[in-house]
Amino acid sequence: MTAVLERTAPPLAARGWWAKTVAAARYEYLMQVRRPAVWLVVIGLIALRCASPFPPGFTSTTDHSTLVADWAFNFIMLCPIGVGAVLADRVRREARLGLDDLLTSTPTGIGPRLWGKAVGAGAASITPVAVAWVGLLGYLTAQRGAGVIPVGLAAFAAIILPGLVFVVACSVTVPYLAGPVLYRLGLFGYWIWGNMVGPRYGIPTPAGTPFEAIGEYPSGAWFHGVMFDAKQRGVHPTGGQAVLSIAFPLLVGLAVLVITQFVLTKRSPS
Amino acid sequence: MDVNRSIWARLRLELRVIGIAPPVTALAATLGGAILVIVMHATGAGADQLNLAAGAVLAGFAPLGTAVAASSIVGRDSGAELVMTTTVYRQVLFLRVGLVVAPAALVTLADAVVFRSLNAWPAGQGTGGYVLVWAPPMLWLVALAMLIAIGLRSPAAASGLIAGVWLAQYLMARDILDNTVLRTQFMFMGVAAKVPAHEWTVNRIALPAVGVVAVIAAGLLLGRPERFVGSDAA
């Protein structure tokens, strides 16, 4: 009996920030990854774009780098919209269910809950993308040999992941201000304007510059992948520009999360 | 007189239930697009760019914003059980959709009038374009968004998939136009793609026809409203 009552782990209040964040992230991950909408939307959008891959004919190239980079470009074109859409309603979920007061009374503070949501729910929303990418690499490996695997993993990390992390960070913070409905429309507008409306339209846009989130610069600089808006600007990206193009969305995402934590902490009654 | 008062009271009540976000989102797309076109006109943008922007707002952004906003009202009833015991839920939901779509449609019509007066107008569109440029895509997109939202009980899935379909139509326009069936469901016909008049007519009829089928399917799904009771978004 005594053994049963003995604590095997310290109470949550006594644990550190990191342990609380990991616990929150684990729960958010499991909650999000089990939603059918997450898989349906993200896989659906990837399948929609890959049904007619761009640029035409790239699948017959013999260069592994170009092949995986162009597939990565097809993945990143549509799926961030789906990732953002399924994440946006996580932000006010606790308030909608009337759980805010209960959560505020627990020793887990605002910081661990926010970062746990970002890491856990974000990772869960990216999971279908990773699963689809692994499936594609398996198919390409069967066709071209195991040499595709390291290039494929590098392309995922350099082309697909930074944009998705940026969208995740915005999707678990901006809806606090805008609400999920307006945010989804805003995200869609941003994704087109900031990544696909090139200079030819005459509208000022980051598309085709290192400050876009679609991974064109790493694709062109390191993998000889397709260039679209950057090509219209006459840019041949360097390694430094590619690093900047990866660092920018990651740093903006980090800044958005830190600012949101600061604002929520200031507004908290406890 | 009492009847009128009760109708207004009902509409006010439903507006309070759906909240400010859906109507604002629907209007934001069409009004924001109008402001963009007016600013482009004022800053001396070229005729081709103006025509393209006007067409994109009317046939693209206004329908998308309205569809995302309309689908967001699904599953918002914390007291859905109570509503179902006193009224037909299908009627309630369609009324709320109407409250989101109707103002957006009126503002988009006003956009069309303003764009035409500014000579920012999709090439080849006559007077019928005041309605035919935007109304068929809007009905099509709203109906599909509602069908997905009701079928999956998930506004998130509806807005994500609808936005993806919209963007896929933009990115894969050539592939869609090369397919005889998909061509009838191309939203940007007459705006991003110039086609013979009879193909344009078929497209303008086929879009709302599919939209009506989607509305009927959504109505049938709402015949079992208990699916919406006591569940978090899927």
Q: Find which of B74, B78, B97, B171 to mutate to test the A interface (most A CBs within 10 Å of its CB).
A: B171
- Per the model's pLDDT, the better-predicted residue between B195 and A226 turns out to be A226
Give chain A positions within 8 Å (CB) of B152.
36-37, 40
For A199, the closest chain B residue by CA position comes to B49
Residue B66 pLDDT: 97
From B65, B163, B172, residue closest to A52, measured CB to CB: B172
pLDDT in tens, B191-205: 766 778 888 899 999
Strands (DSSP E) contained in A104-177 are none
Q: Is the pLDDT score of B162 beyond 90?
A: yes
How far CA B129 is from CA of B28, B61, B121, B157, B173, in Å, comes to 22, 16, 9, 32, 21
Q: Which two tokens stand for residue A126?
A: 């990216």
Q: Is the pLDDT score of B149 beyond 80?
A: yes
> How many pairs of residues across A and B have Cβ atoms under 8 Å apart?
112
Tally Cβ neighbours within 10 Å of residue B120. 25
Give chain B positions within 8 Å (CB) of A45.
160-161, 164
Give chain B positions within 8 Å (CB) of A196.
171
Q: How far is A224 from chain B (nearest CA, A)?
A: 22
The helix or strand, by DSSP H or E, that contains position B50, with its residue range, turns out to be: helix B47-56
- How many angstroms separate the CA atoms of B173 and B175, rounded? 6
Nearest CA-CA partner of A176 in A46, A244, A71, A88: A88
Q: In Å, how far from its chain's centre is CA B220?
A: 20
From A179, A188, A202, residue closest to B163, measured CB to CB: A188
Residue range B130-159: mean pLDDT, rounded: 95
Tell me what the pLDDT averaged over chain B comes to: 90
Of the pLDDT bands very low, low, confident and very high (cuts 50, 70, 90), residue B120 is: very high
Comparing A97-111, B45-59, B77-91, the range with the smallest average pLDDT is: B77-91
Give chain B positions within 8 Å (CB) of A181.
21-22, 25, 68-69, 72, 155, 159
- Per the model's pLDDT, the better-predicted residue between B123 and B51 turns out to be B51
Of the pLDDT bands very low, low, confident and very high (cuts 50, 70, 90), residue A270 is: low
Q: How far is A241 from chain B (nearest CA, A)?
A: 26
Torsion of CA B214, B57, A201, B176, to 10 degrees: 20
Q: How far is A86 from chain B (nearest CA, A)?
A: 5
Q: Find which of A184, A187, A195 to mutate to test the B interface (most B CBs within 10 Å of its CB).
A: A184
- How many angstroms separate the CA atoms of A105 and A155, rounded? 44
Tally Cβ neighbours within 10 Å of residue A135. 11
Residue A14 pLDDT: 60
Residue range A4-12: mean pLDDT, rounded: 57
Q: Look at A188 and B68 and tell me if their CB atoms are within 8 Å.
A: yes
Q: Is the pLDDT score of A178 beyond 60?
A: yes
For the ranges A104-118, A152-166, B34-48, B69-83, the maximum mean pLDDT occurs at A152-166
pLDDT in tens, A72-126: 999 999 999 999 999 999 988 888 888 888 888 888 889 999 999 999 999 999 9
Q: Find which of A188, A203, A205 to mutate to test the B interface (most B CBs within 10 Å of its CB).
A: A188
Tell me what the pLDDT averaged over chain A comes to: 91
Residue B2 pLDDT: 63
Q: Look at B234 and A48 and tell me if their CB atoms are within 8 Å.
A: no
- Per the model's pLDDT, the better-predicted residue between A31 and B197 turns out to be A31
**What ipTM did this prediction achieve?**
0.88
Percent of chain A with pLDDT strictly greater than 70:
94
For B49, the closest chain A residue by CA position comes to A201
pLDDT in tens, A212-224: 999 999 999 999 9
Give chain A positions within 8 Å (CB) of B155.
89, 181
Tally Cβ neighbours within 10 Å of residue B148. 26
Residue range B221-230: mean pLDDT, rounded: 81
From B21, B22, B156, residue closest to A37, measured CB to CB: B156
Side chain identity at A72, as an amino acid letter? A
What are φ and ψ of residue B189, in 5° steps?
Answer: -60, 130
